[in-house]
Amino acid sequence: MDFLRDPYTFVANRFQEFLTGLGLAPEWVLFISFLTGAFILATSAMLLVTMLIWIERKIVARVQDRFGPNRVGPWGIFQSFADLIKIFTKEMITPTGSDWLPYNLAPVLAVSAVLTVWAVLPFTVTFYGVNLSVGVLFVIALGAVGEMGIILAGWGSNNKYALLAAFRAIAQLISYGVPLAITMLIPVMFSGSMALNDIVLAQDVWYIFLAPLVALIFFVTNLAEIGRAPFDLVEAESELVSGFNVEYSGLKFGMFYVAEFLHALTVSLIFATLFLGGWRGPGAVEYPVLGIVYYTLKTSLVYFLIILLRASLPRFRIDQMMAINWKLLIPLSLSLLMLTALVYRLVFTQPHIVRVLVLLAVNGIVFGVLNLILARVEKRNSRRPLVAEPRPVARAESISSNTPVE
Amino acid sequence: MTPLQIVFLLVAAITLFSAVMVVSIRGMMHAALFLVLTLMGVAFMFATLGSRFFAIIQILVYIGSIAILIIFAVMLTRNIMDAEVASLNRGWWFFAPLALLIFASIVLVLSSWSAFATLRDLSSTSGENILEFGKALTDPNGFVIPFEVASVLLVAAMVGAVYIAMERRGGRG
Amino acid sequence: MLNDWSYVAIFTVISMFLPAAAIAIASFLAPKKPNPIKNSIYECGVETVGATWVQFKVQYYIYTLVFLLFDVEIIFLYPWAVAYNQLPLFAVVEVIIFILILLGGLLYAWRKGALEWV
């Protein structure tokens, strides 16, 4: 019964008892259990990616009225495993003149920057790697490590396209890092802690109800951070051939692919943690095993939304992407931060329902004002109506006079 | 030696090595990448000292923005991978002993200072307290003036940088 | 206390080990038949002209600089956000002033055209 209620603690305790029974010193017991736990968690995250690729291909195919993978296994479920076996036997070409260490370090760094986030994610009330007291900042800091991976890839490849794409990617990632960090302040502010499990524990009301616009900005920012459509300028096939990873092949390219998919899942997990109450749900504290069910459901919802947006939206132009960030998201998120901080301070002692209603009203007003401003900007920058211009017709007189014939 | 000490010595050696490489290596981009490694090592030092907040800030600000700023600055210059330029100037034989002398005298002065030789017991205070830090930042009797001045300083830096960069491009925006 | 960090350190090492091990295994399994044409740099079928490591425009630098300043600002706000629930209204007003000053800086950069991607 104890096992069914909380399998993680049960197994962890048995394992530690077993190690102590072997006569090991306490610090070695701790070290080995840390090592085992981290290894299992990281490996399962990596293996999950094969499933993610299958899910994504299937959903995108359905959106585009195709079948998607359907040959290997039932519903093509083993397609990713077949691809996995294949990619291990592909040749890894190293381009001439590449910088050896940066070139080979980049794919490793790209994956590890995403994977390490899993160390601080709370999966149930008892099942988390570590409840780091600076968890939120840790997540942002790992983004910086991922950026270094991209720089190394672009630099090490000895390719102009790769370098250009890497620097565009960095410009995109650091720009969207600003609203990301601002919006992550809001859950920290409400809960009074930067540790992710504490933020979940403090969410008696899901923070998406207290700050819906902030959650929306956080979601959009994360779309840009993972480099998915509509923000996939990083791998704009038509302009930059394939982005910073153009010179990579075989499993080294595969690692960038793994990093991208894992990043998409990881930001869904973080969104669910910060704004959708993480593992919280009826009975999740008494029966921690339920927590992982709720967490999976919430994460799947966010992940599904990300895939759906990827399948349906066209790509932004780079100047549009920068303008959205610097001229819309940053001023908006800073204004929302100030308003939320002020208003929430005033309704601090009220019951939950009053706080939610007041903050929803504030968000509604901000949204209305924003719409008015955007409508005015739109009117000022209104484009000419899309009609055909009169064109020169290929007649003898129009060629000689070089003027269009009406 | 405890495992922590071994790890500390290892990381310290890597940090010092990459710091030396930053100033001695020829390619400017490689120097910048070694700088990142050095900053990583410093972040690790903060972490082992039990200062989580500053370890994270070291990564976030120094690697996440300043190192990237430096790399962009390197990309703005010409001759990024030029091996012709010597990274040591001609007077190094004179200044290297001088630097060693200054280093030795600093070590000498510090070793005679009793507060430096005795380790303070930090085990009772569990690392730093971010809560107290946050309160002190906005406390009228605390650091509210430096806090507000910091924002003015940041704006001054932004205005200055934008002004210089936009003037270079020829013409006001 | 240190346990937190040792877990993070172990996890970081493992998260770097896993992809590195996968690449190492693949390099055993994969064929290795390099030739000069295959190893050449991708460039529309012709040789790369000039040095790869080209000069970049100043726009990247300005964005990074503005980002750096915002980054430092937000770092200042995190300790405040942790203490938010226990602070008086006065402290909230102070932070609003802090943010408004920085918004002024953003406005300046905006009016100067530093935020245009040209």
Q: Chain-wide mean pLDDT for chain B?
A: 80
Largest CA distance in chain A: 102
Domain stops at, among B81, B115, B140:
B81
The beta-carbon neighbor of C30 closest among A90, A119, A319 is A90
Residue C115 confidence (pLDDT) above 60: yes
Distance of residue B138 Cα from the nearest chain C Cα, in angstroms: 5
pLDDT of amino acid B124: 46
A367 burial level (CB within 10 Å; 0-12, 13-18, 19+): middle
Using an 8 Å CB-CB cutoff, list chain C residues near A331: 103, 106
Largest CA distance in chain C: 70
Query: Which of A89-98, A251-260, A283-292 holds the top average pLDDT?
Result: A251-260
Answer yes or no: is the ipTM higher than 0.95: no
Lowest mean pLDDT among A218-227, A296-305, A388-397, B63-72: A388-397
pLDDT digits (tens, 9 = 90+) for A187-221: 999 998 888 988 998 888 889 999 999 999 999 99
pLDDT of amino acid B85: 57
pLDDT confidence band for A297 (50 / 70 / 90) = very high
pLDDT of amino acid B14: 94
Contact B134 C81 (CB under 8 A): yes
Distance of residue B77 Cα from the nearest chain C Cα, in angstroms: 6
Number of structural domains (chain B) is 2
pLDDT digits (tens, 9 = 90+) for A22-45: 877 777 888 888 888 889 988 998
> What average pLDDT does range A318-346 have in this prediction?
89
The phi, psi pair for A245, rounded to 5°, reads -100, 25
Q: Chain-wide mean pLDDT for chain A?
A: 85
**CA closest to A100 among chain B residues:** B30
Choose, out of B68, B76, B80, B155, the residue to mutate when testing the contact with A (most A CBs < 10 Å): B68
Name residues 129-148 of chain B within 8 A of C (Cβ): 130-135, 137-140, 144, 147-148
Distance of residue B36 Cα from the nearest chain A Cα, in angstroms: 9
pLDDT of amino acid C49: 62
DSSP code of residue A75: G
Any C CB within 8 A of B95 CB: no
Any A CB within 8 A of B71 CB: yes
Spatial distance between the Cα atoms of B23 and B88, rounded to a whole number of angstroms: 8
Distance of residue B64 Cα from the nearest chain A Cα, in angstroms: 4
The phi, psi pair for C55, rounded to 5°, reads -80, 145
| B76 and B133 share one domain | no
Distance of residue B111 Cα from the nearest chain A Cα, in angstroms: 34
Contact B166 C113 (CB under 8 A): yes
Residue B150 confidence (pLDDT) above 60: yes
Residue the block writes with tokens 């006569």: A23
| Contact present, A49 and A254 (Cβ < 8 Å) | no
Using an 8 Å CB-CB cutoff, list chain B residues near A102: 33
A partners (3+ CB pairs within 8 A) are B, C
**CA closest to A181 among chain B residues:** B60
| Fold for the domain defined by C2-111 | Methane Monooxygenase Hydroxylase; Chain G, domain 1 (1.20.58)
Any C CB within 8 A of B3 CB: no
| Chain length of chain C | 118
Residue C111 confidence (pLDDT) above 60: yes
Closest to C8 measured CA to CA, from A279, A28, A129: A129
Contact A192 C86 (CB under 8 A): yes
The beta-carbon neighbor of C82 closest among B131, B155, B162 is B131
Q: Identify the domain containing residue B133 by its residue range.
A: 129-173
pLDDT confidence band for A393 (50 / 70 / 90) = low
pLDDT of amino acid C53: 61
Top pLDDT among B17 and C65 is at: B17
Name residues 99-158 of chain B within 8 A of A (Cβ): 127, 130-131
Residue B171 confidence (pLDDT) above 50: no
3-state secondary structure A283-340: CCCCCHHHHHHHHHHHHHHHHHHHHHHHHHCCCCCHHHHHHHHHHHHHHHHHHHHHHH
Note the helical H segments in A237-287: 237-240, 250-275
| Contact present, B139 and C92 (Cβ < 8 Å) | no
Residue A341 confidence (pLDDT) above 70: yes
pLDDT confidence band for A267 (50 / 70 / 90) = very high
* Cα B159 → chain centroid: 24
Name residues 36-95 of chain C within 8 A of B (Cβ): 51, 53, 55-56, 58, 60-62, 64-69, 71-73, 75-76, 78-84, 86-87, 90-91, 94-95
Lowest mean pLDDT among A87-96, A151-160, B72-81: B72-81
**Sequence ranges of the domains in chain A:** 1-83, 90-378
pLDDT digits (tens, 9 = 90+) for B18-56: 999 888 887 788 888 899 999 999 998 888 877 788 888
Distance of residue B9 Cα from the nearest chain C Cα, in angstroms: 16
3-state secondary structure chain B: CCHHHHHHHHHHHHHHHHHHHHHHCCCHHHHHHHHHHHHHHHHHHHHHCCCHHHHHHHHHHHHHHHHHHHHHHHHHCCCCCCCCCCCCCCCHHHHHHHHHHHHHHHHHHHHCCHHHHCCCCCCCCCCCCHHHHHHHHHCCCCCHHHHHHHHHHHHHHHHHHHHHHHHHCCCCC
Spatial distance between the Cα atoms of A196 and A139, rounded to a whole number of angstroms: 10
pLDDT digits (tens, 9 = 90+) for C23-32: 899 888 888 8
**CA closest to B76 among chain A residues:** A167
pLDDT of amino acid B129: 78
Contact C63 A189 (CB under 8 A): no
Distance of residue A282 Cα from the nearest chain B Cα, in angstroms: 31
The total of other beta-carbon atoms located within 10 Å of residue A57's CB is: 18
Map residue C46 onto helix, strand or coil: coil
End-to-end alpha carbon distance in chain A: 87
Distance of residue B53 Cα from the nearest chain A Cα, in angstroms: 6
pLDDT confidence band for B128 (50 / 70 / 90) = low
pLDDT confidence band for B173 (50 / 70 / 90) = very low
What is the gyration radius of the CA atoms in chain C, in angstroms?
Answer: 25
The beta-carbon neighbor of C108 closest among B78, B132, B162 is B162
Taking CA atoms, A360 is separated from A309, A318, A355, in Å, by 25, 33, 8
Top pLDDT among C79 and A129 is at: C79
Lowest mean pLDDT among A121-125, A240-244, B117-121: B117-121
Token pair for residue A99?
Answer: 């910088």
Contact B76 C55 (CB under 8 A): yes
Considering the domain boundaries, does residue B153 fall inside one? yes
Q: How much of chain B exceeds pLDDT 90, in percent?
A: 16
Contact B158 C66 (CB under 8 A): yes
| B144 and B75 share one domain | no
Using an 8 Å CB-CB cutoff, list chain A residues near C103: 331, 334
Residue the block writes with tokens 């600003």: A178
pLDDT of amino acid A270: 93
| B72 and B134 share one domain | no
Choose, out of A88, A158, A204, A316, the residue to mutate when testing the contact with C (most C CBs < 10 Å): A88
pLDDT of amino acid A273: 92
Lowest mean pLDDT among A337-351, B73-87, B157-171: B73-87
The beta-carbon neighbor of C23 closest among A30, A46, A252 is A252
Using an 8 Å CB-CB cutoff, list chain A residues near B18: none
Spatial distance between the Cα atoms of C9 and B75, rounded to a whole number of angstroms: 32
Considering the domain boundaries, does residue B98 fall inside one? no
Contact B68 A174 (CB under 8 A): yes
> What average pLDDT does range B98-127 have in this prediction?
75
